[in-house]
Amino acid sequence: MAGFTVYDWAVLLGYFALLAGTGYAFSLRRQRDADDYFLAARSMPGWAVAFSVLATSQSAATFIGAPESAYAGDLTYMSANIGQFTAALIVAFIFIPAFYRQRVTTLYELLETRFGTPSKLAASWMFMVGRLFASGARLFMGSLAMSMVLFGEVDARTVALAIGVTTFIGIAYTFVGGIRSIIYTDVIQTVVYVGAAVAAMIVLLRLIPADTTQLLDAMRDADKLTWLRTGFEDDWPRQTFTLWTALLGFTLLNLGFYGTDQDGMQRMLTCRSGAHASRSMIGAMLLGVPVTLLFMVVGLLLWALYTQPGLAGDALGAPPDRKLEIFLHFIMTRMPPGVRGLMMAGLIAAALSSLNSALNAMSSAFVNDVFRPMRRDLSPAAQVWVGRAGVLVFGVLLGGFAMFCYFWQQRGAIPLINFALLVMVFAYSGLVGVFLVVLLTRRGNNISAIAGLLTGFIVTLVHQPYVFQSLTPEAWHVYALAFPWQMVVATGAAFLVCFAGSPRPSADTMSS
């Protein structure tokens, strides 16, 4: 592996200096209370929120996983954007107005208004567990890059050390500035990681002597340009990216992130009004499509460079054995000095953008849903310090789960982008099922809501290959479902369980 040069370190250290400078600037602004720390007093501009939503939703999973997906397969991951747009419209016109009408600090206060405190607490804890899963997976992916930069290799020891370094940086930054600093830093980090992808595409095009027509013909012959599959084949239950998984599974999955996940929704709650938040939501989706496509194109060019000698010209040597390292391998071995540092800064920016917001969101849920109701006598300043303590605790937990993800992903040999999405299903299926009951029906109660949350988690767990195969006869193993279909089945089960509960009598009915 080619090592970092002084130019690469200069670029990378410059990036960290920029983060430190913005962190210091926001530390000078006193956080008056928990609402200011977690919601920025609902004063954030919509354009900044849109960039922050984009940065959080993509993260290291897109930076590493999207090129890996295109390199090893085709462009069908892009079809997931159909579900993303569908979910964005539902969240913008149904979820966000409901949250702003209730003036909630966390999403789960809406369940308290409808059902009572127990369901709010259950949903909040389910979010915190699910966010540990999802953000731990993203932290693991970002630490792959840090491992390669610091140690020139990727194994359990180096990944553990890289996770520790990345987690420390994320905790330190989030601890000081709150959600306001996170949103503005996300804007900077979005520019950095998109710029890194553009730089990668330019370098790849210069390394490949073939013209555009030759490249497109080769990709078309190899079926690399397919972006939509109908999903009518015999093995449709095991296909991840098809028209039907986009319309069903990915719509529900994105409803989970943007509509029921405090991390996804928190930055929308910092806008001046529900209308501003809805516009930010849709703006983030429009920005996300070309950015994702950019990373997919990088993967296609990597395929041409490493597997098509007739297109690539000079031999580059064998690509890494594990496809998940293909983009990192290219960055470390073929990028010019200085540009290599920019690429790693982009990847670390993608990792930190999702880590920072996750820490703030989990601490927000704990402080507002769990701690404040028990200690209503706490001063506003004390609430801020409890929030910061939550950032520290959740940071340590995230680091531990990220290390667990290293062994989980290795055992299953799951593509990175699939792994990042799969872990979300555990919590999102129950949350989406319960929130749909709340927003679309008049049914449900505390008991059925809690049962619905647990049902979604358990049904998802049962459908994992290592559990499904141990519980069913071998002849049934061919019916194992891809994770978008797991989301459909688990969300449907959670919805039905929550819907089965009879609504509690209103106060007027009880008094009469």
Give 73-97 pLDDT, tens digit per residue.
899 999 989 999 999 999 999 999 9
Decide: helix, strand or coil at residue 113.
Answer: helix
pLDDT in tens, 199-225: 999 999 888 888 888 889 999 999 999
Whole-angstrom Cα distance, residue 66 to residue 440? 35
- Tokens 């950095």 correspond to 192
Using the predicted structure, report yes or no on whether residue 454 has a pLDDT greater than 90. yes
Q: List, in sequence order, every residue forming a beta bridge with 44; answer none if it has no partner.
A: 271
pLDDT in tens, 10-53: 988 888 888 777 767 766 666 666 677 777 778 889 899 999 88
| Six-digit token string for 206 | 């210069």
Find the mean pLDDT for residues 395-407. 89
pLDDT of residue 314: 56
pLDDT in tens, 126-154: 999 888 888 888 888 778 777 877 777 77
pTM, whole model, 2 decimals? Answer: 0.85
Find the mean pLDDT for residues 164-191. 81
Whole-angstrom Cα distance, residue 100 to residue 77? 33
How many other CB atoms sit within 10 Å of the CB of residue 250? 28
